[in-house]
Structure 1
Amino acid sequence: MSTGPNLPAPHQIVIVTGPSGAGRSTAINVLEDVGFEAIDNLPLSLIPRLLDGPPLAKSVALGVDVRNRDFTTKAFMSLVDALSRDTDTQISLLYLHAREDVLIRRYSETRRPHPMAPNESLQEGIRRERELLGAIQSRSDVVIDTSSLSPHDLRDEVTKLFAAPGDAGLSVLLNSFSYKRGVPHGVDMVFDCRFLRNPHWEASLRDMTGQQPKVVDYIKEDQRFTPFFEKITDLTDLLLPAFHDEGKSYLTIGLGCTGGKHRSVAVAEMMGNTLANKGWQVSIRHRELERRAKPDAGTI
């Protein structure tokens, strides 16, 4: 999960850190994609020089790694305090966290030694790094637990937190999912589609998905579908302009069903078409269909 404020602001400095394997490099890449100047693995002693001279022309994302030659917890916190005290630029500290078992699995998959214990066990390296970073995590403005996040999930989370609102307005992500695997991380609102008639119990439809017309027609034949779809359309018609007026740049709507293959997919597709026709920027993600298409895809 993530904690912390929504921080979109021009010309800010975001310092990104966390244990090796938690997704720091992915977060840095996302920040670069949303308009930050990204600088990774810069020694702590060189960071203050970024503020010398004229004001920043754009926001900056700094990746700080415990492997930097002059890294210590005290030096890092002193740097953050000095930057916050000596400049008017907004300083935000983003910390990427993950459970120990997840970090062990990720390192085992890469077959790389841990930087904090190159000749010892992974557990020992992770333990040393956690001790070194513990105080930093408690001081961070934003903490994202990436234990259950895919790179796509982390991209969504960082984008929502740090992308500056653009002239194009609010972007809407519709995310279909299976309740068996839990509600996706970071959704802003959820609609439960499990009460609609289930194509899974029709042998001719079971192997299809909610993207296929026969499945869509079957779901729309449920007498409860039309009033349900009208009500969620009325609700989004009310809420999306309000979120836009409040300056929100990114909204995620989850649509769930039992297997995440039929009903939630179909409703997400129909909802996406409806919103797009009304002029909203819409993207659609079908979590369970993506997993079936890429069975070996892991988390960050």
Structure 2
Amino acid sequence: MAADQPAGEVLIVTGMSGAGRSTAADALEDLGWYVVDNLPPQMLRPLLELTELAGGEALPKIAAVVDVRGRDLFRELPAITSALRAGRQLRVVFLDASDEVLVRRFESVRRPHPLQGDGTILDGIRTERERVAVIREAADVIVDTSNMNIHQLATHIVDLFSDEGDAAHTLTVMSFGFKYGLPTDVDLVADMRFLPNPFWIPELKGHTGEEAPVRDYVLAQPGAQEFIDAYALALRPVLEGYQRENKRHSVLAIGCTGGKHRSVVTSIALAEKLAQLPGVRVRVKHRDLGRE
């Protein structure tokens, strides 16, 4: 590889069978990534060496889909990815979903789980979870597709891996409601239930945190602005550390009871502050805003 030619970005797409790897691969291909499906982990290094020898002005961005279809070869993935990180911008994205959702997806297409053998689909899922536990723990990005259809997943992948310009780290600040469950694919969680709930104020109940009346009410509460200022300050060394460790994406979840008032206001306010940090691109997502 020429000295003035940087190594192309490498993305390893893995995760649970039925969690959406094929959909993610198609979305990446549409973004211009060179996608290789069902690649044994041992072939990653030769593949990268071939692209480097090919030359050209810019090396391609490569996405390799690796999964348990590789059987015993799959177990070597953690060691191989660790070795390949040296000198390359390499990330691992792990796609996951709840057992209940995965069972339903396999049943809907009338296909067996690749590891179920003579057992049930759930047996296969549990076996796979054991095998991929170490890989999931070391993944750079975890995407829980339990509540996504294929179109929503494709959109999410585009949001995550489209051209990010000069940003070294992309932070998603996501509001949510604890009543609908704690998000699973997050790195940091904050709880805004220490503030009064606008839900119990008749003139605010029907509005959301995106609207001025709710925003003004929440930010005027004792401790609200102090929390936002202090938490943004506390997150600065965290985001700087993520950049040093080449962690390109993270998710900050901000929760309240229903995910419509306090968490929404706080997510927007925090995002505005954190977007001022060098090298950080911030997106805001409201998970439960449209729920009844």
What TM-score bracket applies, with the shorter chain setting the length?
0.5 to 0.7
Q: 5 Å matches for 1:20-35?
A: 20-29=17-26, 31-32=28-29
Q: TM-score, normalised by structure 1?
A: 0.64
Aligned mate of 1:113, from 103, 110, 114: 110
Partner SS state of residue 288, structure 2: helix
TM-score (structure 2 length as normaliser): 0.66
Match of 1:198 in 2: 197
Give, as a single letter, the amino acid of the residue that structure 2 aligns with 1:103. Answer: L
Distance 2:72 2:31 in 1: 31
Instruction: Provide the residue aligned with 2:62 in structure 1.
Output: 60
**CA distance change for structure 1 residues 107 and 245 in 2, over 3 Å: closer, same or farther?**
closer
Picking from 34, 37, 49, the partner of 1:37 is 34
The 8 Å contact of residues 146 and 154 in structure 1, kept in 2 or not, is answered as: no
Q: Which amino acid aligns with 1:216?
A: R
Conserved 8 A contact 1:13-1:89 = no
Give me the whole-angstrom Cα distance separating, in 2, the residues matched to 1:92 and 1:237: 22
Q: CA RMSD in A?
A: 5.0
Distance in 2 (CA, whole Å) between partners of 1:230 and 1:81 is 41
Ranges in structure 2 where 5+ consecutive residues have no aligned partner: 1-5, 54-58
**Given residue 23 of structure 1, which amino acid in structure 2 is its aligned partner?**
G
**Residues 211 and 220 (structure 1), Cα distance of their counterparts in 2 relative to 1, 3 Å cut:** same
CA distance in 1, matches of 2:226, 2:202: 27
- 1:189 correspondence with 2:170: no
Q: Are 1:170 and 2:172 an aligned pair?
A: no
* Total equivalences in the alignment: 273
Please list the CA deviations of residues 111-157 of structure 1 after superposition, one character each: whole Å capped at 9, or x if unmatched. 4221669xxxxx756656877x6896478575768474646689879
C-alpha displacement of 1:106? 2.2
Per the alignment, in what secondary structure is the counterpart of residue 109 of structure 2? coil
Partners in 2 of 1:177 and 1:78 — Cα distance? 37
The yes-or-no answer on 1:285 pairing with 2:282 is no
Corresponding residue of 1:260: 259
Distance 1:200 1:274, change over 3 A: same
Unaligned runs of 5+ in 1: 1-8, 118-122, 293-300
Identity of aligned residues (%): 32
Residue deviations 1:28-73 (CA, integer Å, cap 9, x gap)? 24654776411336799x999857856363343333678xxxx673
Is 1:211 the counterpart of 2:213? The answer is: no
> CA separation of 1:139/1:163 partners in 2, compared to 1, >3 Å: closer, same or farther?
farther
Tell me how far apart the structure 2 counterparts of residues 79 and 222 of structure 1 sit (CA, whole Å).
50
Residues 221 and 33 of structure 1: CA distance in aligned 2, closer, same or farther (over 3 Å): same
Q: Can you list the C-alpha shifts for 1:239-265, whole angstroms capped at 9, x where unaligned?
A: 434443443322322211111110110
Change (3 A) 1:61 1:207: same
Q: Distance in 1 between matches of 2:93 and 2:249?
A: 19
Structure of greater Rg: 1
